[in-house]
Amino acid sequence: MNLYYDFSASSIRIFKGLLKIGVDLKNNKVIFPVYNSQYQTISYSNITFYIKKNDSDTQHLKLLEANNFLSETIQTIRIESAQFNPPSKKLKYIVGDGYFGALEYYSFYNFFSSSRFVRSGCLIIDVLSGGFYKHEIIHYIFSNYQFNRFLDEGIATLFSGGEIQFKTSTLNCWSEMCNKIHTDKKYRNAIDTEELLSNFQYKPEMYAISAMLLFKYYRKVGGKIFYDTLFNKLIKFSDAESVDFLKKELGIQQLSTFVVNTGVSLWEEIATKNI
Ligand SMILES: [Zn+2]
């Protein structure tokens, strides 16, 4: 999910983009992969990529990396949780070319509630042809689970190594949050009242705080209990209930204090270690 996605403002642009790559909204089909002659498919064991025919070898290497990232991550989670239910359908990954003038989308079609891809949840439209986006692949990995938005984005941010947006650093985002908490009372209040964490807002604060709470919780209880809780308990919780649960487990009174007291170096750990 694109962090700064504003549906009303960009719907026309996105609509045009979909038509351009061959998404047939009327008949709820993605026709592009089959009929658009500018594209070819490259299939690995886990992902089918749709890329432009003239894309370079470097691009192919990135596709291979994406495929490896996907299978390794699934493998790691399986080791820690026997009950993990990975997606059974192969991921379709469309490497776009800046069509939407924005970032990547996973299961983007949800907004139209129209396509069979909604239910299968196995389509990524990647609008940057320069790389692959771990965050969206994590959404796919957990696509058999319907977490609330707060958890969903926190999980994708954490397991992608701290990716909120393509090639952005959550570390910088976290420092900015710390500064703002010190200088802006209203902002601090919005963090503490959890106003910035819910209400259907895709704010960087929601991504970052959720990921950090989950990381700390993982560190505290270990992988097995973490996944047990995630798959059996947290999955039934609302955004607010999840925040409350994690705060309680970690002994947090105020989220603003938690943010300020959590060093940015933890983001480096998250980026370098696959949890
Ligand atoms: Zn997302």
CATH assignment at residue 63 = 3.30.2010.30
41 Cα–ligand 1 center, Å: 25
CA of 37 to the centre of ligand 1 (A): 30
| 223 assigned to some structural domain | yes
Least confident of 68-77, 132-141, 242-251: 132-141
Same structural domain, 37 and 116: yes
Ligand 1 center to 135 CA (angstroms): 6
SS3 state at 79: helix
Q: How far is the CA of 109 from the centre of ligand 1 (A)?
A: 14
Most confident option among 1-15, 86-100, 151-165:
151-165
Cβ-count burial 199-208 (b if 16+ within 10 Å, e if not): eeeebbbbbb
Question: Are 183 and 137 found together in one domain?
Answer: no
CA of 207 to the centre of ligand 1 (A): 8
Which DSSP symbol is given to 58?
A: H
Are residues 114 and 226 both part of a single domain? Answer: no
pLDDT at 243 over 80: yes
Regarding whether 137 and 22 lie in a shared domain, the answer is yes
Residues 15 and 140 reside in one and the same domain: yes
Bridge partners, residue 47, by sequence: 91
Confirm whether 177 is domain-assigned. Answer: yes
Pick the more confident residue, 60 or 132: 60
* 94 in Cβ contact with 126 (< 8 Å): yes
Higher pLDDT, residue 241 or 196: 241
Task: Clarify whether residues 12 and 140 are in a common domain.
Answer: yes
- CB atoms under 10 Å from CB of 98, counted, come to 11
User: In which domain, by residue range, is 50 found?
Assistant: 7-144
Number of domains in the chain: 2
pLDDT confidence tier of residue 25, bands split at 50, 70 and 90: very low
Q: Measured in angstroms, how far is the CA atom of residue 53 from the centroid of ligand 1?
A: 28
Least Cα distance to 128 among 93, 91, 172 occurs for: 93
Q: Which amino acid is at 36?
A: N
Does residue 124 sit in the same domain as residue 36? Answer: yes
